[in-house]
A and B are shown apart, each in its own frame.
Chain A
Amino acid sequence: MNDPRNRQYTNSEITVFWKPSKCIHATTCFRELIEVFNPGRRPWVNMKGSTTRRISEVVNKCPTQALIWKYNKDLSESEKLAQREVSKEEENPQTLGKPSPEKNPLVKPVNVRIMKDGPIVVEGKFRILGKDGIELNSSQMTSFCRCGNSKDMPYCDGIHRKIGFTDEPF
C-alpha cells in the first residue's frame, strides 16, 4: 500500500525508507544517532549527519520495518522516480495559494492513450527528453513504442503488429 506519509532520504550511496505506519517509537534511531535521526527537525532524517556505514548500522537496529535502507544501485525504477520527485520539490517548494493545474483552465492536461496491443499515443503540448536530457522534436501527436522492437526508437514504426505484441501478461 502506498501511504502518502512514507518518505525516502538519500545520500550518494544509500536510500533510507521511512514508513510511519510501522513505527512503534522504540526511539532506537535517535538515541543512537541524533545527528541523522532527529524527530524535532523537518525533515527529521539528515543523511549528511553521518557516514553511510553508521547510518545503515543504526537503521539495521530498528525493531520494525519502519526504517530500512537500500543501496542506490539496487533501487527500482519507481523508487528512483520518487527520488527525483522529492529533489524537484526541495528545489522548487510549492507555495501556498498557487493555483493547481486542475483549477487553472488555461493549463490543459496532455492526453496519453495506451493503444491495445500497440503504442503509447500522446496528443497535446508536451516536451520529450531523450538521452542526456536532450530535448527531442515533438509534434502535436506522437506514438511511443511499447513492444521494444521498433527500428525507430523511441517512436512506433508499426512492428508491433508483425511480432504479435499483446498486453496479456505471460
Chain B
Amino acid sequence: MDEKNATFTILANGPLEITGFFRIADSAGKIIEKKGPVLLCRCGESANKPFCDDSHKRIGFSE
C-alpha cells in the first residue's frame, strides 16, 4: 500500500485523523489546510472547528 495515499482513521470517541496526501477546503472550495496530518472534530464541541481541541474529553463524547 502506498503510504502517501490519504488515510482516514476514526479515533474511538475522538477526532478524525487524516494522514497522507490530501487537501482540505471549506464548502466554497477555498483551501484551508494543505499539510497533514490533521485531527478534525467529530464531537461537535471544539472551540477551534473544524480542528480538534480535545473538547471530546471534557464532554465525555461517546459515539
Interface residues of A (CB under 8 A from B): 76-78, 81, 85, 88, 92, 101, 107-116, 118, 120, 122, 124-131, 133, 136, 138, 144-149, 153-154, 165, 167, 169-170
Contact = CB atoms under 8 A, between A and B. Distances in A.
B63 A148 contact: yes
A115 B49 CA distance: 11
A128 to B, nearest CB: 5
Nearest to B22: A110
A112 B18 contact: yes
Given A77-B15, A81-B37, A154-B42, A146 B4 contact: no
B7 A148 contact: no
B48 A154 contact: no
B43 to A, nearest CB: 4
Contacts of B1: 127
Q: Which 7 A-B pairs have the closest CB atoms?
A: A110-B6, A148-B44, A148-B43, A110-B22, A126-B6, A153-B63, A101-B21
Contacts, number: 125
27 contacts: A76-B54, A77-B39, A81-B17, A109-B6, A110-B5, A112-B23, A114-B25, A114-B26, A116-B26, A124-B6, A125-B5, A125-B6, A127-B5, A127-B7, A127-B8, A128-B9, A129-B10, A144-B8, A144-B10, A144-B42, A146-B40, A146-B44, A146-B50, A148-B44, A148-B61, A154-B63, A169-B48
Given A81-B39, A111-B23, A124-B6, A131 B12 contact: yes
A18 B15 CA distance: 26
Interface of B: 1-12, 14-27, 29, 32, 37, 39-50, 52, 54, 61, 63
A111 B8 CA distance: 12
Contact of B25 (A88, A112, A129, A170): A112
A113 B8 contact: no
A115 B10 contact: no
Nearest to A124: B6
Nearest to A160: B44
